[in-house]
Amino acid sequence: MTEWSQTWTYFDGTWHEGNPPLMGPRDHAAWLASTVFDGARTFEGVSPDLDTHCERVNNSALALGLKPTLKTGKIVEIAEDGIARFGKDEALYVRPMYWAQDGGKFSVPPNPDSTVFCMVVYALPMPEPTGFSVTRSSYRRPATDMATVNAKASCLYPNSARALAEAAEKGFDNALVLDPVGHVAELATANVFMARDGEVHTPYPNGTFLNGITRQRTIKLLEGAGIKVHQRSLTFEDFEQADEIFASGNYFKLMPVTRIQQRDLQPGPLYTRARELYWEWAHG
């Protein structure tokens, strides 16, 4: 039996300690994956962009054909109530979710009127920024006319899982995943940046990957500090020739890439500055 870290789950107006069973085999989400979620972070006593994450879960629900049942402000209130159940400086993962219980007329589309909400808050330490290695994935990100990449939808994650499994088989931690036309979209589990000649470059959000909240925040902070950020089409070869590579994502916020293929990299000055700016903003 899985031993979960300290967890509080909000469902149907009540907090439950631990991981209660909430879904049955007849639920639409259990067999047709009509589930969306978002993930915010609490660490060192701060919860950066919590409201934006709570807003995005509602947008994701709409993109998947679900009907959000709570306003953003109410989701934030629930999140803050859950966070308060832990120690002041505990590192937490805050995950609001929606899913459908019933199918529509032909079963396959979700019935939006059957949408249910859940919030889970659990202890999850922030990883040390020691960096990780990346390779090129043979799998690709779909476009918006192929999958619901405009939502943080659970059904997208098996593709990330097989990209990670393939990378692990090759001896790497993560993988750069290309879009349908062969440009880099993102990492299997995070958005990605590279730096060259004192400027930052990141894939243009062309609808093949989720334009992450931490990604957007990082771009604003870098530009506010006078650092040029280019959002453009980038090839895998561009990343192989980069001076530095780093990733943004909710799990770790900002993390350096320390190896691409067989080339070692060091955490560079632009990654270091981005992380400093983010931490200063989060605590400000």
pLDDT digits (tens, 9 = 90+) for 168-185: 999 999 999 999 999 999
Fold of 132-283: D-amino Acid Aminotransferase; Chain A, domain 2 (3.20.10)
Cβ proximity of 221 and 281 under 8 Å: yes
- Categorize the per-residue pLDDT at 66 as very low, low, confident or very high, splitting at 50, 70 and 90: very high
Of the candidates 272, 248, 277, 267, the one whose C-alpha atom is nearest the C-alpha of residue 41 is 248
Q: What is the predicted pLDDT for the residue at 208? A: 96
Q: pLDDT-based confidence at 2, cuts 50/70/90? A: confident
User: Structural domain boundaries of the chain?
Assistant: 7-123, 132-283
Give the pLDDT mean for 43-58.
98
Q: Three-state SS for 76?
A: helix
The pair of structure tokens assigned to 179 is: 């879009």
Task: Report whether 200 contacts 222 (CB < 8 A).
Answer: yes
Amino acid at 158: P
Which two structure tokens, joined as six digits, stand for 8?
């509080």
What is the average pLDDT across 194-219?
97
Contact 134, 258 (CB under 8 A): no
Return the CATH number of the domain spanning residue range 7-123.
3.30.470.10
pLDDT digits (tens, 9 = 90+) for 123-166: 999 999 999 999 999 999 999 999 999 999 999 999 999 999 99
Percent of the chain with pLDDT over 90: 96
Q: Residue 107's pLDDT band (boundaries 50, 70, 90)?
A: confident
pTM of this prediction? 0.95
Strand partners, 123: 92
* Mean local confidence (pLDDT), 21-31: 94
